[in-house]
């Protein structure tokens, strides 16, 4: 038996979308790479015509290339472990898979098995969010993680001392993945559910809201985040380029949100806002 491997080279902004599309076409395991993504399925269980239609459609929107390969099943674990390296953020936090050995020189240890979900620390936006979180006081705070993916930001919030974390995502596989990662990290104060913010309801306000989502979703949801923020509550955003910050501020300011700081990593940005 073998695995089919689809390697896609694409712009970072399209990796999450392609993962979602390829999951519908029969691939069930994904890995983010420096160049794009790798998608895997057992044997030839994926839908080849559907895959080629998806790739042709995205090739009209962005520069994209791809290749197919076969990998013997007995080499799967070795390949995965060689390809998925731990990530260190600000020399304080290590993000690793369960098969990596713990490294006690780092203050925070996050165990993340990404499966099909976004958020391994390899993407610049996740790195920016984790870095910003470590500069924020989470102790005793109530936190929302919008579009939680692997739940990496929820887990970081819990380890930073958050009292309670509410996480949600619109993709069922993300919610399933987040459950596994929450258990791996022994975080008992994280609640997670399926849905989008406009369809969900929460009692009370939040001290911190985290949202690492694409620009268009953020533009729609920033007013909703503002409604859930407590006075002096903080909204930490990423998932966009530095050049997008002015557009986000145009939406944020009428909602009573003011810029506190921003950061950049290879043209990707994070933005911290406060409700005044």
Over residues 40-76, the pLDDT tens digits come to 888 888 999 999 999 999 999 999 999 999 877 655 5
Over residues 113-138, the pLDDT tens digits come to 766 445 566 678 999 999 999 999 99
pLDDT of residue 194: 92
How does DSSP classify residue 102? P
Same domain, yes or no: 219 and 136: yes
CATH of the domain at 166: 3.40.50.150
Token digits of residue 167? 């996480």
Q: Is residue 118 part of a domain?
A: no
pTM for the structure as a whole: 0.75
pLDDT of residue 42: 82
DSSP string, 71-137: EEGGGHHHHHHHH---EEETTTEEEE-TTSPP-TTSSEEEE---TT-S-SS-SHHHHHHHHHHTTS-
Token digits of residue 29? 């395991």
Q: Is residue 188 part of a domain?
A: yes
pLDDT of residue 43: 85
Q: Which positions of the chain have pLDDT values less than 70?
A: 1, 73-83, 114-122
pLDDT of residue 276: 85
Same domain, yes or no: 44 and 181: no
3 state DSSP class of 159: helix
pLDDT of residue 117: 47
Question: Residues for the chain: how many in total?
Answer: 276
């Amino acid at each position: 038996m073998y695995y089919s491997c689809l390697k896609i080279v694409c712009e970072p902004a399209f990796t999450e979308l392609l993962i979602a599309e390829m999951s519908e076409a029969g691939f069930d395991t994904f890995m983010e790479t420096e160049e794009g993504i790798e998608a895997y399925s057992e044997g030839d269980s994926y839908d080849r015509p559907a895959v080629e239609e998806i790739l042709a459609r995205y090739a009209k929107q962005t520069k994209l290339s791809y290749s197919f390969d076969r990998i013997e099943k007995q080499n799967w674990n070795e390949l995965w472990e060689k390809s998925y390296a731990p990530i260190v953020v600000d020399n304080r936090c290590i993000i690793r898979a369960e098969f990596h050995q713990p490294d006690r020189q780092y203050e925070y240890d996050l165990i993340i098995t990404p499966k099909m979900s976004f958020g391994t620390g390899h993407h610049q936006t996740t790195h920016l969010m984790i870095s910003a979180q470590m500069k924020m006081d989470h102790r005793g705070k109530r936190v929302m993680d919008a579009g939680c993916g692997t739940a990496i930001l929820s887990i970081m919030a819990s380890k930073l001392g958050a009292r309670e974390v509410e996480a949600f995502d619109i993709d069922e596989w993300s919610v399933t993945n987040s459950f596994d990662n929450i258990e791996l990290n022994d975080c008992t104060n994280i609640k997670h559910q399926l849905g989008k913010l406009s369809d969900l309801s929460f009692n009370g306000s939040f001290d911190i809201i985290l949202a690492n989502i694409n620009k268009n979703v953020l533009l729609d949801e920033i007013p909703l985040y503002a409604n859930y923020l407590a006075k002096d509550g903080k909204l930490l955003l990423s998932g966009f380029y530095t050049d997008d910050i002015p557009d986000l501020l145009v939406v944020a300011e009428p909602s009573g949100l003011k810029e506190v700081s921003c950061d950049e990593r290879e043209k990707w940005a994070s933005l911290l806002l406060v409700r005044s």
